[in-house]
Amino acid sequence: MSLDAKLENRQFLINKVLLDPRRDEDAGVRKSLSYISGERVHKALIYVGMATCGKVAGAKKTFLAIQNYLQDHDIDVTLVEGGCVGFCREEPLVDVQLPGKARISFGNVTSDKVQPLLDDILNNNLPEQKPLGQYQNPILQQWDGVPFMEEHVFFAGQQRLLMDNCGIIDPVSIESYIAKGGYWSFTDTISTKTPAQVCDIIDKSGLAGRGGGGYSAGKKWNAALSTVSDNKYLVCNAVESDPGSYMNRAIIESNPHRLIEAVLIAAYAIGAGKAYIFIREEFSLAISRLEKAISQAREMGIIGHHIFESGVNINVAVKKGARAFVCGEETALINSLEGKRAMPSSKPPYPAEKGLWDHPTIVNNVETLFNVPLILKNGSEWFHDTGTKRSKGTKIFTLSGKLKNYGTVEVPMGMTFRDILNDIGGGMAGEKDFKAIVLGINSGSYITEETLDIKVDFDELKSIGGALGSGAFVVLDSGVCMVDMAKYFTAFFKNESCGKCIPCREGTARMLEVMENVTRRPSDNQSFQTLERFKGVMQLKNLAGVISETSLCSLGKSSPYAILNTLKHFKKEFDAHIFERKCAANICTDLRIYHIDVDACTGCTACFKKCPVDAIIGSPRYPHFIVQDKCIGCGTCFDVCKFNAVLIK
């Protein structure tokens, strides 16, 4: 587009769209927006899903292959480095939109599949590769015999309020974002509502923190608004260090402008002139897209001084956080922003009264903020339409582990975990049985067979002694050892503890020692050690209460639950480890002692050849021997032996 055309476009978007509340009523405006947003195209559009999950799956190579193809064939097509629609199993995803025709999506398009795909589709023919689906739209011509994406089992159960633009729009096109309704909430809000009114709307909507805390966002904002101060700060918590969660990063990479809009509205609501987006420094793609989006918004006058003559001054900056899980705790985050060690501070005083540099500060999670422009646009009553009595709106989960359809999904509060697993998630992958779903690491919850029918709801999860967490959703099958999982989580907490308070610093270390004792390689003195292990586990139960009641922050408070919940739901596995020294799932490698039965062994050397660590010694036709010190307990020899000569003790 020429510079003049660009400026004209911009003026149109500002004057006719952002600043005109009756934008929707003009058919001409609507038509222009339809083209600017990408709903309709003048020329063909190819959209490659290139969020981090896509890149890991090879989307970069796919993109280059497409670029080369277009160059070689001298075809003029709009090629977009897109965001993530959430269906990570199908990455790399390529969408094609021909003028007048519905947008059609293809999955698993590795670079070798590019040529045959484009040969056909760019000539209006359905290629051999079966498409994933097409997007429903009455104003565009549908492809014959192609199912609708919206009816795909992965998408049918979702309610995509927050992720509506993800994987659809160009993340770094402010024009597309505005054309699709973006920033309308912000400009309408600052011209028609006072900060107090905004806080009130959010409070009435029942929006609760999505980072795991579940506190009322509106109440927090009101507290900050009512604290008198010259300087106030809005901080967006994009640390996301919970292993198993990556939805915040995915939605920032796919729709950074939504976050900026949310941050602006939130800053306005509490009276803050400065907003910081504190994001983990490893999220380089998210950071670069966010920074580009911020400069676009600034250029358009949406960020800065006297925004659209309203008298409102808000500045937004990205701050790259150094890596520590504890930075996700709001007071630790504030300390890190101030250039200190990320140690949490005592509350009271709460950040809303005394936060960043002792000024009123609100720290909100990314997903929580993504709800804000929608609530302001549609009203708090609208928000009540989705969800349960106590938990309004939707929740984004990142599905992973042993299920078929993994990716990022958005479900209404009130959906059962069973439905998420079996409908959206496509059910278990592989032949093993379902064992548990692990939610966010700070939630302390397992969903087991008995609780699969509970709903996604803050209160229901509280009733089973857990919490919703950040949105991680890792599915475990019977091949997973729960004692090992408990050890893994405890080790995680011990490693990430900041070390400030005694219960967490010492407590997590002591708990880990107990778990390591339980999974340690057995030696000769059996019974004395059994008693030790048992005693250790019992002591742990006592200690767990103290740790969770006295820890300074939620990291310490939730650290004992990994073990406690495993003890509660999977006591049999624990007992087997302690008393019988057996790991049923065969995961605890130290408890696996493989040895070769010399009578059964024929000396075929199959195990000798396959052992990945050369722990087996022997010559052809002589019985082989496993060197225990070298053995890692992987079980390969057990698998390959045709003579059942490899035994597990």
Partner 1 sequence: MTVELEHIFKVYPNSKREDLIPMLQAIQDEQGYLTEDVIHEVGKYLGISVNKIYGVATFYDNFRFGPVGRYHFRLCHGTACHVAGASTLQKELQKLLKINAGETDKNGLFSLEVVSCIGACGLAPLIEVNEEYYTNITLESLKALVDKIREKENDVL
Partner 2 sequence: MECKIEVNHKTLKVQEGESLLSALRQHGFKIPTMCHMNRFSPTGACRLCVVEVEGKSDLITSCSFPVEAGMKVQTNSQRVIKARKSLVELLLSDHPDDCLYCQRNGHCELQWLAAEMNVKERKYFAGKQKDNPDYSSTSVARDPAKCVLCSRCVRICEEVQRVTAIDFISRGTRTKVNSAFHKGLNVSSCIHCGQCIQVCPTAALTDISHLEKVNAALGNKKKQVMFVISPAAIVSVTELIQSKSKNKVRARLTAALKRLGASKVFDSGTAADIHVMEEARQLAELIRSKDKKDLPLISSCCPSWIRYAEGFKPQLTQHIAKVKSPGHIAGSLIKLNYAREHDVAMEDIYTVSVTPCVAKKYEASWEENTHKGVSEVDAVLTVRELFLLLRSFGLNLEQIEEEEMDAPYNHSSAAAIKLGYSGGKAESVAQELFNIMGGSKKEAFRFMQPKSITSKRETKVKIGKTQVGFAWVSSIAEAEDYLNELGESKRDDIHYIEVMACLGGCAGGGGQPISRGFEQPKARKKISVEMEKKAAWQKASGNTMAADLFERFSFRQNEIWEDPF
Which of these ranges, 186-194, 221-229, 285-293, 550-558, lies near partner 2 under the rule CB under 8 A? 550-558
Residue 32 or 288 with smaller CB distance to partner 1 = 288
Interface with partner 1 (CB under 8 A), residue from 350, 488, 534, 638: 488
Residue 387, phi then psi, degrees to nearest 5 = 105, -165
Convert residues 205-224 into a mask of x (bound to partner 1 by CB under 8 A) and - (unbound): --------------------
Which of these ranges, 147-155, 205-213, 289-297, 480-488, lies near partner 1 under the rule CB under 8 A? 480-488
Residue with tokens 């480890």: 577
Give me the least distance between CB of 484 and partner 1, in Å please. Answer: 8
Interface with partner 2 (CB under 8 A), residue from 108, 142, 529, 550: 550
Question: Which residue in 341, 357, 321, 351 sits closest to 500, CA to CA?
Answer: 341
Question: Which residue in 457, 259, 252, 214 sits closest to 372, CA to CA?
Answer: 259
Which of these ranges, 72-80, 429-437, 460-468, 542-550, lies near partner 2 under the rule CB under 8 A? 542-550
For residues 50 and 81, what is the distance between their CA atoms, to the nearest angstrom? 6
For residues 424 and 156, what is the distance between their CA atoms, to the nearest angstrom? 8
* The token pair that represents 530 in the structure block: 């059994």
Residue 88 or 552 with smaller CB distance to partner 2 = 552
Q: State the DSSP code for 18.
A: I
Number of residues in contact with partner 1, rule: CB under 8 A? 51
Interface with partner 1 (CB under 8 A), residue from 472, 552, 583, 616: 472
Residue with tokens 């990455």: 91
Residue 400 or 548 with smaller CB distance to partner 2 = 548
Residue 627 or 632 with smaller CB distance to partner 1 = 632
Q: Does 548 bind partner 2 (CB under 8 A)?
A: yes
Burial class (CB in 10 A: 0-12, 13-18, 19+), 1: exposed
Q: Which residues, 6 or more positions from 59, have their beta carbon under 8 angstroms from its beta carbon? A: 48, 49, 50, 91, 92, 93
Q: Does 322 bind partner 1 (CB under 8 A)?
A: yes
Q: Where are the alpha helices (DSSP H) in 206-255?
A: 217-226, 247-254
Q: Does 341 bind partner 1 (CB under 8 A)?
A: yes
Which of these ranges, 151-159, 340-348, 621-629, 635-643, lies near partner 2 under the rule CB under 8 A? 340-348
Residue with tokens 């509660």: 568
Q: Does 55 bind partner 1 (CB under 8 A)?
A: yes
Number of other CB atoms surrounding residue 92 within 10 Å = 26
Pair type for strands 315-321 and 274-280: parallel
Give me the least distance between CB of 510 and partner 1, in Å please. Answer: 21
Buried residues in 369-378 as b, exposed as e (16+ CB within 10 A): bbbbbbbbee
Give me the least distance between CB of 240 and partner 2, in Å please. Answer: 19
Q: Does 338 bind partner 1 (CB under 8 A)?
A: yes
Convert residues 86-105 into a mask of x (bound to partner 1 by CB under 8 A) and - (unbound): --xx----------------
Interface with partner 1 (CB under 8 A), residue from 6, 305, 306, 340: 340
Q: Does 474 bind partner 1 (CB under 8 A)?
A: yes
* The token pair that represents 368 in the structure block: 């929580």
Residue 243 or 349 with smaller CB distance to partner 1 = 243
Q: Does 480 bind partner 1 (CB under 8 A)?
A: yes
Q: Does 246 bind partner 1 (CB under 8 A)?
A: yes
HEC string of 423-465 equals HHCCCECCCCCEEEEEECCCCCCEEEHHHCCCECCHHHHHHCC
Q: Tell me if 239 sits within 8 A of 328, measured CB to CB.
A: yes
Please give the residues from 475 up to 514 whose contact with partner 2 meets the rule CB under 8 A: 494-503, 505-510, 513
Q: How far is CA 611 from CA 599, 606, 640, in A?
A: 20, 9, 10
Which of these ranges, 34-42, 469-477, 539-547, 598-606, lies near partner 1 under the rule CB under 8 A? 469-477
Q: Which does 57 bind (CB under 5 to 8 A by kind): partner 1, partner 2, none?
A: partner 1
Q: Tell me if 372 sits within 8 A of 265, measured CB to CB.
A: yes
Q: Does 348 bind partner 2 (CB under 8 A)?
A: yes
Please give the residues from 421 up to 440 whose contact with partner 1 meets the rule CB under 8 A: 438
Pair type for strands 472-477 and 394-401: parallel
Residue with tokens 């293809």: 106
Give me the least distance between CB of 343 and partner 2, in Å please. Answer: 8
Q: Which does 345 bind (CB under 5 to 8 A by kind): partner 1, partner 2, none?
A: partner 2
Q: Does 603 bind partner 1 (CB under 8 A)?
A: no
For residues 276 and 293, what is the distance between their CA atoms, to the nearest angstrom? 14
Q: Does 314 bind partner 2 (CB under 8 A)?
A: no
Stated length of the chain: 649
Give me the least distance between CB of 381 and partner 2, in Å please. Answer: 32
For residues 186 and 267, what is the distance between their CA atoms, to the nearest angstrom? 11
Please give the residues from 352 up to 371 whose contact with partner 1 meets the rule CB under 8 A: none
CA dihedral 605, 610, 611, 617 (to 10 degrees): 20
Q: State the DSSP code for 25.
A: G
Which of these ranges, 206-214, 267-275, 335-343, 456-464, lies near partner 1 under the rule CB under 8 A? 335-343
Residue 244 or 560 with smaller CB distance to partner 1 = 244
Cα Rg of the chain (Å, integer)? 28
Residue 179 or 481 with smaller CB distance to partner 1 = 481
Q: Does 56 bind partner 1 (CB under 8 A)?
A: yes
Strand order in the sheet with 407-412: 407-412, 394-401, 472-477, 434-439, 446-448
Strand order in the sheet with 233-238: 315-321, 274-280, 233-238, 361-365
Q: Which does 612 bind (CB under 5 to 8 A by kind): partner 1, partner 2, none?
A: partner 1
For residues 63 and 68, what is the distance between their CA atoms, to the nearest angstrom? 9
Residue 411 or 498 with smaller CB distance to partner 1 = 498
Question: Which residue in 258, 248, 241, 253 sits closest to 322, CA to CA?
Answer: 241
Number of residues in contact with partner 2, rule: CB under 8 A? 33
Convert residues 551-590 into a mask of x (bound to partner 1 by CB under 8 A) and - (unbound): --------------------------------------x-
SS3 77: coil
Q: What are the residues binding partner 1 (CB under 8 A)? A: 52-53, 55-57, 88-89, 241-246, 249-250, 281-282, 319-320, 322-325, 336-342, 398, 400-402, 406-407, 438, 441, 472, 474, 476, 480, 485, 488, 492, 498, 589, 612-613, 632, 634
Q: What are the residues binding partner 2 (CB under 8 A)? A: 324, 341, 345-346, 348, 494-503, 505-510, 513, 539, 542-543, 545-546, 548-552, 557
